[in-house]
Structure 1
Amino acid sequence: MLPPPRHTEIRAPPDGDAAIRATDSDAALARLSAVQKQYLADPFIRHFVPRAHLQPPRPPLINVGTYVRAEGIDKLVDQWLSLAEQEGTDCQIVSLGAGSDTRFWRISSGPRKASLKAYVELDFPEVTMKKAMAIRKSKDLSAVLGSPDEVRLASGGMALHAPTYHLIPADLRKPPSEIFPPLAGLLSPSHPTLLLFECVLVYMSSAASAAVIQWFVDYFSTPSSSDGGCGVLGGIVYEMFGLEDSFGRVMKANLQARNVSLPGAEPYQTAQSLPSRFLQHGFTMSNALTLRDIRRAYVDPAEQERISHLEMLDEIEELELVLAHYAITWGVKLPRESAALQAKWADWGLRPVRTT
């Protein structure tokens, strides 16, 4: 998450894709900074940041925003894993536009590691090759994957496969029929599956992002011949929205100066419009919260107290404006109308812990 800079004198990268890929480096550096300042615990992020020990910390505004983003998404993912455990099954996670995300390693080294049947990451080939190299280079990352005999590179080093983890190169803007066939051999339609979209759909056209979501809806609506039945399908989207007000236009202009456009933000001008991302595809339910809402009412008071002492934050008004233009949207699609499924999975979501 980046607030609007005070001024913009940035030379644009040579192509838009390079600029989009650079946003992953921004996110990794922001997370590293939040870890260094003790907002978050993540022993793995340093392996994905070159010369991590030499990187300067980010401003408090970025650290707080990174923390709130992680707090919201982490809670939703942990609840998903917990619900799968209660159902007596393991689940699958597909992270689209995964970049340098460390979630697989954090789950696989934590108390819910037995809950994962498959974890799949997709991103630009340049990004997946860089990530595969970092994984192979790091003993800490490689050890989590399993036995070295069970880990292999593919696609000229752009893909990596392990018993549970799969890293696949893909341009998500291409037709799903071209990029998703490899998933058919990795994902079971009968298991609960969670899709993660962290700052990815906003860089795509609405038609392209709708095609991606619809492919998964169709795939998980077709019972597997071996497993039988269809599993619950969930999705989490994190991205900016509402960019047509004065503050949003500044954010958009600053990104355009870096050769980054946001076509996916155009249909979503209010927080109330965000759930349609999933509802238009037949999801049973969907909700959305801005990061401002989450910071105000969805972070435990003791945790809020802890982070308030980490750094002096003078830019409260700017922080509130930035957080109000980022949101987490989640939705779940049940395979059939069932009282048991409604009671268990339809309740998945963030719950306030205090009043604003």
Structure 2
Amino acid sequence: MLPPPPHDTDAPIRLTDNDAALAKLSAVRQNYLSDQFIKHFVSRASFQPSRPPLINVGTFVRTKAIDDLVNQWMDLSSKEGKKCQIISLGAGSDTRFWQLATGTRKDCLSKYIEVDFPEITMKKAMAIKKNKDLSVVLGAPADIQLGQGGTAISSPIYHLLPADLRSDPSIALGSLTAATENAARLLDPSLPTLLIFECVLAYMSPQESDTLLKWFHTYFSSREDGILGAIVYEMFGLGDSFGRVMLSNLKTRNVSLPGAVPYPTLESLPSRFLNLDYTSAHALTLKDIRRTFIDPIELDRISKLEMLDEIEELDLVLEHYAITWGLSTAHLGNRKAPWGEWGLQRREQHEEDE
């Protein structure tokens, strides 16, 4: 008799990507967001029910804030006369590459790299391969190559790589920084590079996430002109009654959040970067972002999309999620100033700029 198959302890974590994709699809359908590509990454998309307004609003705030930080990064790179590199770690079904590659900033991209579990990247590679709306954005068919048993994609700008981010990054992500006889290294340390972690680091141990962030920092700080930024979206402050309920619900799905333990307060979140010698770091809750950093015209628009009675419940949820951004410009000297402007700006600043 054959022994039972080994228990896949990572399957529950991978399933959280499905939750995120369904939330994004729902927000798009209800006109909170515009995204023509997300439907291609959701099975039986037309049959999926909409999510509650609370989830739609949260998805809107999260997406708008991260989009703002990404767009600013690309604009600052252009002002430096350089293209930029973006690496989305734990990317799952994210569609940001396709949005950027078909938008007004498409010429700002040198490389866009997505990394996730091989089970996730294989699913994404299959979706890209079978859908022309996705594959045509990558380039000519001759320039698009599948690899590693169908879990990887290589094209002139977009690259999809399988890896376990908890592993030694010099091994798991070594192909990003190592040149071979047949190919140059994917990551150019002279180009401004942005890391994106959306609900990723909370599922890793603090030691694993620190090792990963330090590895990237070491690579880019080795050059005088190295510029590295990182965006982290995650839950935090889970020691109160709301957090305990969240943890209990996740436990029933065999999911834990070891990476959230060191960050009990909003003020503690920037330490993730500052303790690793990044130059600066800032954090905001989604509650604060919604109230103070989102364009009021947009807030007025989405307020008319669905009836949302549970404002207190919305605020309670949003104050347990945060976006943290860290910046490393150790060797720039006087050139640090423009990069120091990178970050979410209050509405008053937007209005003054206009």
Interval of TM-score (by shorter of Structure 1 and Structure 2) = over 0.9
Q: Does 1:135 align with 2:128?
A: yes
Q: Give the alignment of 1:286-305 within 5 angstroms.
A: 286-305=281-300
SS in structure 1 of the partner of residue 98 of structure 2: helix
SS in structure 2 of the partner of residue 188 of structure 1: coil
Could you tell me how far 1:205 is from its partner in structure 2?
0.2
Q: Give the alignment of 1:26-45 within 5 angstroms.
A: 26-45=19-38
Q: Give the alignment of 1:5-154 within 5 angstroms.
A: 15-154=8-147
Could you tell me how far 1:338 is from its partner in structure 2?
1.5
Per-residue Cα deviation, 1:26-85 (whole angstroms, up to 9, x for no partner): 000000000000000000000000111111100000000000000110000000000011
244, 257, 277: which one aligns with 1:282: 277
Could you tell me how far 1:354 is from its partner in structure 2?
5.1
- In the alignment, the residues of structure 2 paired with residue 197 and residue 106 of structure 1 have an alpha-carbon distance, to the nearest angstrom, of 17
| Cα pair 2:221 2:331 within 8 Å, conserved | no
Q: Give the alignment of 1:156-235 within 5 angstroms.
A: 156-184=149-177, 185-223=185-223, 229-235=224-230
TM-score (norm 1): 0.93
Residue 282 of structure 2 aligns with an amino acid whose one-letter code is: N
Q: Which runs of 4+ in 1 moved over 2 A?
A: none
Corresponding pairs, count: 336
Residue 60 of structure 1 aligns with an amino acid whose one-letter code is: P
| Cα pair 2:88 2:114 within 8 Å, conserved | yes
| Cα pair 1:284 1:346 within 8 Å, conserved | no
Residue 193 of structure 1 aligns with an amino acid whose one-letter code is: T
- In the alignment, the residues of structure 1 paired with residue 9 and residue 206 of structure 2 have an alpha-carbon distance, to the nearest angstrom, of 17
Q: Does 1:309 align with 2:313?
A: no
SS in structure 1 of the partner of residue 188 of structure 2: coil
What does residue 241 of structure 2 align with? 246
Residue 344 of structure 1 aligns with an amino acid whose one-letter code is: P
- In the alignment, the residues of structure 1 paired with residue 22 and residue 252 of structure 2 have an alpha-carbon distance, to the nearest angstrom, of 20
Could you tell me how far 1:337 is from its partner in structure 2?
4.4
Residue 128 of structure 2 aligns with an amino acid whose one-letter code is: I
TM-score (norm 2): 0.93
| Cα pair 1:152 1:161 within 8 Å, conserved | yes
- In the alignment, the residues of structure 1 paired with residue 65 and residue 332 of structure 2 have an alpha-carbon distance, to the nearest angstrom, of 28
- In the alignment, the residues of structure 2 paired with residue 300 and residue 106 of structure 1 have an alpha-carbon distance, to the nearest angstrom, of 20
What percentage of aligned pairs have identical amino acids?
61
Mark the runs of 5 or more structure 2 residues left unpaired by the alignment: 1-6, 178-184, 350-354
- In the alignment, the residues of structure 1 paired with residue 299 and residue 337 of structure 2 have an alpha-carbon distance, to the nearest angstrom, of 31
- In the alignment, the residues of structure 2 paired with residue 354 and residue 292 of structure 1 have an alpha-carbon distance, to the nearest angstrom, of 17
- In the alignment, the residues of structure 2 paired with residue 259 and residue 15 of structure 1 have an alpha-carbon distance, to the nearest angstrom, of 11
- In the alignment, the residues of structure 2 paired with residue 249 and residue 255 of structure 1 have an alpha-carbon distance, to the nearest angstrom, of 10
- In the alignment, the residues of structure 1 paired with residue 217 and residue 51 of structure 2 have an alpha-carbon distance, to the nearest angstrom, of 39
- In the alignment, the residues of structure 2 paired with residue 32 and residue 243 of structure 1 have an alpha-carbon distance, to the nearest angstrom, of 27
Residue 10 of structure 2 aligns with an amino acid whose one-letter code is: D
| Cα pair 2:225 2:332 within 8 Å, conserved | no
Residue 141 of structure 1 aligns with an amino acid whose one-letter code is: L
- In the alignment, the residues of structure 2 paired with residue 321 and residue 354 of structure 1 have an alpha-carbon distance, to the nearest angstrom, of 25
Q: Does 1:336 align with 2:328?
A: no
- In the alignment, the residues of structure 2 paired with residue 16 and residue 52 of structure 1 have an alpha-carbon distance, to the nearest angstrom, of 27
SS in structure 1 of the partner of residue 10 of structure 2: helix
Could you tell me how far 1:302 is from its partner in structure 2?
0.7
- In the alignment, the residues of structure 1 paired with residue 302 and residue 44 of structure 2 have an alpha-carbon distance, to the nearest angstrom, of 26
- In the alignment, the residues of structure 2 paired with residue 306 and residue 354 of structure 1 have an alpha-carbon distance, to the nearest angstrom, of 19
Residue 72 of structure 1 aligns with an amino acid whose one-letter code is: A
- In the alignment, the residues of structure 2 paired with residue 61 and residue 28 of structure 1 have an alpha-carbon distance, to the nearest angstrom, of 16
Could you tell me how far 1:15 is from its partner in structure 2?
3.7
Q: Does 1:347 align with 2:341?
A: yes
What does residue 261 of structure 2 align with? 266
SS in structure 2 of the partner of residue 237 of structure 1: strand
Per-residue Cα deviation, 1:272-291 (whole angstroms, up to 9, x for no partner): 00001111111111000000
| Cα pair 2:221 2:227 within 8 Å, conserved | no
Per-residue Cα deviation, 1:201-258 (whole angstroms, up to 9, x for no partner): 00000000000001101111223xxxxx432100000000000111111111111111
Residue 309 of structure 2 aligns with an amino acid whose one-letter code is: D
Residue 85 of structure 1 aligns with an amino acid whose one-letter code is: S
Per-residue Cα deviation, 1:274-325 (whole angstroms, up to 9, x for no partner): 0011111111110000000001111111111000000000111111111000
Residue 349 of structure 1 aligns with an amino acid whose one-letter code is: G
| Cα pair 1:15 1:259 within 8 Å, conserved | no
- In the alignment, the residues of structure 1 paired with residue 290 and residue 217 of structure 2 have an alpha-carbon distance, to the nearest angstrom, of 32
- In the alignment, the residues of structure 1 paired with residue 317 and residue 196 of structure 2 have an alpha-carbon distance, to the nearest angstrom, of 22
Could you tell me how far 1:199 is from its partner in structure 2?
0.4
- In the alignment, the residues of structure 2 paired with residue 273 and residue 208 of structure 1 have an alpha-carbon distance, to the nearest angstrom, of 18
